Amino acid sequence: LKTQQRKAQPIWKQNLEKAKRNGVLHTIYDVNGDWYSGEWADDKKHGKGTQFWKLTGATYSGDWKNGKRHGHGKFGVPNPSGSGLNEQYVGDWAHDKREGHGIQLYENGERYDGEWQRGRRHGWGRMLYFDASVYEGEWEDDARSGLGLLRFANGNRHEGCWRDDKRNGSGIYFFMDTAQVMQGMWVDDIFRCGTIKDVAREKAPKPTALPIPEVALTNPDDVLHNARIAALSNNSEIKRR
């Protein structure tokens, strides 16, 4: 009997275990105005649920694990004017950060669709910028790094190596309006050395061959005879002088 009494938990610990939130509960409000509605496990957000943050007005709806956003979910921050969202992310999460594949809509209208790691763009992704240019390629620590293609709004494009969000290394720049290609080495977005050539010159039509008329003497013997007579008469005049 004494052994069983020593192993038994104190009453306050038993009551604490009973008070833990588990399963699907109604909305739970915090003193700062935040609220959560969804599933719980061992007094932590776990499963499906929606969290609202009063200070920023942000909302997350999706999967939770041990009190953190983990799985698939949607996060949005509203515009202060109340019209639409400033930012919105839909995709994968891990340990409360963007992780895996997801789509991010930015406040200025830009859009990223690709891979994430620890809350930053990392891996392969496509970025649509506000000036209508598009980058498709590799990312590292939220910057364009690796191999990538940048298409400009005017149709020109650059294919090659990137580092620290700039063109660094070998690359090819296509001028679509002039049909020229610039190929060589780039350093921090500046073309350092290489070649520029017209890619359409070989395909250009050849110039039209205009007919050149043939020039010939009708009576070469008479021309030669007259030339000899003229030469003899000139010599006679010179002697008389």
The predicted-structure confidence for 181-239, as pLDDT tens digits, reads as follows 999 999 999 999 999 998 776 666 676 665 656 666 677 677 667 777 776 676 565 55
Cα–Cα distance between 167 and 161 in angstroms, integer? Answer: 6
Query: Domains in the chain, please, with CATH?
Result: 17-120 (2.20.110), 131-202 (2.20.110.10)
H or E element in which residue 110 lies: none
Q: Which residues share a beta bridge with 35?
A: 29, 52
pLDDT at 213: 64
pLDDT at 222: 75
Q: pTM to 2 decimals?
A: 0.73
How would DSSP label each residue in 20-54? S--EEEEEEE-TTS-EEEEEEETTEEEEEEEEE-T
Tokens read off for 145: 């790094």
Regions in the chain scoring below 50 on pLDDT: 1-2, 12, 15-16, 18-19
pLDDT at 19: 47
Residue matched to tokens 């000899």: 228
